[in-house]
Amino acid sequence: MKTEMLPTTIGALYRMSGGMDMNPPYQRPSGVWTIVQKQNLMDSILSGYDIPKFYLHRKSDKSLAVVDGKQRISAIVDFIDNKFPLGDFKVVEPWNKPTSSPMKGDYYQDFTQRWKTEFISSVVHVAEILLDSEPAEEERIIRNIFLRLNSGTPVSWEHLSKVKDQITALEVQA
């Protein structure tokens, strides 16, 4: 097994998504994320936060299948296709960002050209998994990788609520 780390832009990922197998047998159904989760991802990208890497399986026929990151890729595609607007967006660190930043309720089509460029030029990391095995063995390995990537313990709602309260308290102090 070989894994290549590929720095990729949001724009390149968007273009690649049309040819990806988004629904290999081990994947969750589409539409699992809420609109708020999608909006938070767009906010993270626009603010320059690092987001988790995407795992793609380069199959023997050279096609790509999504191993991890389906919901994030779908959210990016839907946003660029103007299927939902930004949520409570505010540029966290405005240095080095274009002026006239997007606002809550803006769709991608509403962005200035500079902000569209800022968004699609954002760098994300893709781990491309290459295997040199028989198809059945490849499927076993890829499913094993999927299980390992998705078997972590989710953060409890109580803990998330506590952290949100701490953020609110810090904002009041500022």
Model confidence at 93, in pLDDT bands (50, 70, 90)? low
Which residue range is the domain that position 158 belongs to? 2-173
Give me the pLDDT at residue 11, please: 98
Rounded to an integer, the average pLDDT of 122-150 is: 93
Residue 95 has pLDDT above 80, yes or no: no
Residue 83 has pLDDT above 70, yes or no: yes
CB neighbour list of residue 145: distance below 8 Å, 6 or more residues apart: 55, 67, 68, 129
Backbone dihedral angles phi then psi of residue 127, each to the nearest 5 degrees:
-100, 110
Could you give the CA distance from residue 55 to residue 12 in angstroms, rounded to a whole number?
Answer: 15
What would the two tokens of residue 73 be? 């890729």
Question: What is the number of domains present in the chain?
Answer: 1
Q: Which of 14-28, 134-148, 156-170 has the lowest mean pLDDT?
A: 156-170
Residue 94 has pLDDT above 70, yes or no: no
Give me the pLDDT at residue 6, please: 92
Residue 24 has pLDDT above 70, yes or no: yes
Model confidence at 29, in pLDDT bands (50, 70, 90)? confident
Sheet strand arrangement including 20-21? 2-9, 123-130, 54-58, 64-68, 20-21
Residue 55 has pLDDT above 90, yes or no: yes
Q: What is the pTM of this model?
A: 0.88
Give me the pLDDT at residue 98, please: 62
Residue 23 has pLDDT above 80, yes or no: yes
